[in-house]
Amino acid sequence: MRLWVVRGAVLAVVHAVVAVVVAAVKAGNPTGQSVVEAVSLGVLVGVAAVWAAVDGWRQVPERGTAWVVAALVAGVGSAVLQVIGRGIFVDQTGVSALGGALTGGAAFSALLVLLPAGLGLVVGPRLDPDRPREDEDEPVRAKPSPRPRG
């Protein structure tokens, strides 16, 4: 299976579950959700960053492209799953909320995947100092002199 399918699907489910839990907490206690929102945002960012760092550390081929497409899949997928989850578990959210979720909500979820994944892809290859990185050039060697030594 393609890299982006797994990453996008898993992160879409994670984002949707966290958003539905936060919505349920807000419905039960409208004034006391700031800590829950902060922790949930940290979980979402952390999952993407750590997973991308592991991909960078393992030097998975085409990992940059996979994470860009996974962010888009996670954005759209989590928007749809959030509307469904809120409609079933929290309140009477219906199809009318899908438009807003597919525009602003999907874009925000995609950024919550893409930005930490980019950071993870930069940090991941640097976790193993003994392994040569892909972005390093060959060591500079001295050019032979055109004149004979004498």
Which of 40-44, 48-52, 59-63, 134-138 is most confident? Answer: 48-52
Is residue 19 within 8 Å of 78, Cβ to Cβ?
A: yes
The CA distances from residue 54 to 4, 57, 63, 64, in Å, are 15, 5, 10, 13
Q: How far is CA 147 from the centre of its chain?
A: 56
Name the one residue in this structure whose structure tokens are 């309140």: 91
Task: Using pLDDT thresholds of 50, 70 and 90, give the confidence band for residue 48.
Answer: very high
In the three-class reduction of DSSP (H, G, I as helix; E, B as strand; rest coil), residue 118 is classed as helix
CB proximity list for 88: less than 8 A, separation 6 or greater: none
Residue-wise pLDDT for 98-111, tens only, equals: 777 788 888 888 99
Residue-wise pLDDT for 73-126, tens only, equals: 999 998 888 888 888 888 777 777 777 778 888 888 899 999 999 999 999 888
